A and B are shown apart, each in its own frame.
Chain A
């Protein structure tokens, strides 16, 4: 069992790295980008019996800072 955790800055929180990427894309001539948000992907290789609820607890306790970040958990059999 594997899990993929995607951590993104909450909407409304300024993402300076995303803004820099957007500006770099613009300077390369890619005009068709209205916004960029940069986050991180964490892949977990889970031991037998680890549940989605466990992964959610990991997100709340460590993987995301819920003051500024939101997260999404996908489980892969």
Chain B
């Protein structure tokens, strides 16, 4: 059961994400963005939060063109698991692995606080440890988390039950209160909130740990 955590210049949640994977039992390696291939046998790739390439041009735009993201695209295309958090979600949208885009927060301010979310689907390895409709608390910390997608894409996401989490009290103007979305094969999750920052009661919430534990349970059995 192996995880890879990508590291871009400007990533700052990469080590927290590795700690979270390891706590759940994943053998975890850090992978530099200039590597053109993932190590053999990787089950899940973590694309961490931070400010890859200083958010130049657009958040995640430069990272999306890095050699390792080609390999991540191929990993996703052959059914591999990918978890993109915050800047990682932005990178996954920029590579078009996930639909939509993340714009500047409607209030123009960086928001950093515990955020209540509702679990919208339990039909994924990321979310099947939660109860359907459960209200959980996961920290957010972003300036560009305002999810947008065209009406056709939104209709498709809803029809295919691919909205993983919605905000309770929208912090950034995201359309339909969307906080996280799944790929069509339900094996790629991108979300703005930081589950790796909610791993134990001392963090203020352990609701994020559920995600890593349910991934670990499913992947160890696979």
Asked whether A34 is an interface residue with its Cβ less than 8 Å from the other chain, the reply is no
CB contacts (< 8 Å) of A20 on chain B: these are 108
Which residues 100-123 of B sit at the A interface, judged by CB distance below 8 A? 100-101, 103-108
Which of A11-19, A25-33, A46-54 is found at the contact surface with chain B? Answer: A11-19
Are B101 and A65 in contact, CB atoms less than 8 angstroms apart?
yes
Chain B binding surface, main DSSP class: loop
Whole-angstrom CA separation of A23 from B66 in the bound complex: 38
Contact, CB under 8 Å: A68 / B101:
yes
Q: CB-CB < 8 A to B149: which residues of A?
A: 67
Given the interface pairs A13-B148, A16-B108, the reply to whether A62 lies near B61 with Cβ below 8 Å is yes
Complex contact A16–B61 (CB within 8 A) = no
Closest to A12 in B: B150
- Given contacts A13-B148, A14-B173, A16-B173, whether A65 and B107 have CB atoms under 8 Å apart is no
| Given A16-B173, A67-B100, A68-B103, A62-B57 contact (CB < 8 Å) | yes
The answer to whether A17 and B108 touch across the interface, beta carbons within 8 angstroms, is yes
Contacts of A61 in B (CB 8 A): 65
Cβ of A73 within 8 Å of any chain B Cβ, yes or no, is no
Residues of A within 8 A of B105 (CB): 16
Residues of A within 8 A of B57 (CB): 62-63
How many interface residues does A have (CB within 8 Å)? 12
A39, B94: Cα distance in complex, Å: 18
- Give Cα distance in the complex from A17 to B143, angstroms: 12
Q: List which B14-28 residues lie within 8 A (CB) of chain A.
A: none
B101: which A residues are within 8 A, CB to CB? 65, 67-68
Residues of chain A within 8 A (CB-CB) of B186 are none
Q: Evaluate contact between A14 and B108: CB separation under 8 angstroms.
A: no
Within 8 Å of chain A (Cβ to Cβ): is B58? Answer: yes
Taken together as a complex, chains A and B put the C-alpha atoms of A62 and B173 apart, in Å, by 25
What is the distance, in angstroms, from B105's C-beta to the closest C-beta of chain A? 7
Among B103, B105, B106, the one with the most A-chain Cβ atoms within 10 Å of its Cβ is B103
**B106 with A65: CB separation less than 8 A:** no
Closest CB-CB distance, B145 to chain A, in whole Å? 12
Q: What are 17 of the A-B contact pairs (CB < 8 Å)?
A: A13-B148, A14-B103, A14-B106, A14-B173, A16-B103, A16-B104, A16-B105, A16-B173, A17-B108, A63-B57, A65-B61, A65-B101, A67-B93, A67-B148, A67-B149, A68-B101, A68-B103
14 extra interchain contacts, Cβ-Cβ under 8 A, other than A14-B103, A67-B93? Answer: A9-B103, A13-B103, A16-B103, A16-B104, A16-B105, A16-B108, A16-B146, A62-B57, A65-B58, A65-B61, A65-B94, A65-B101, A67-B99, A68-B148
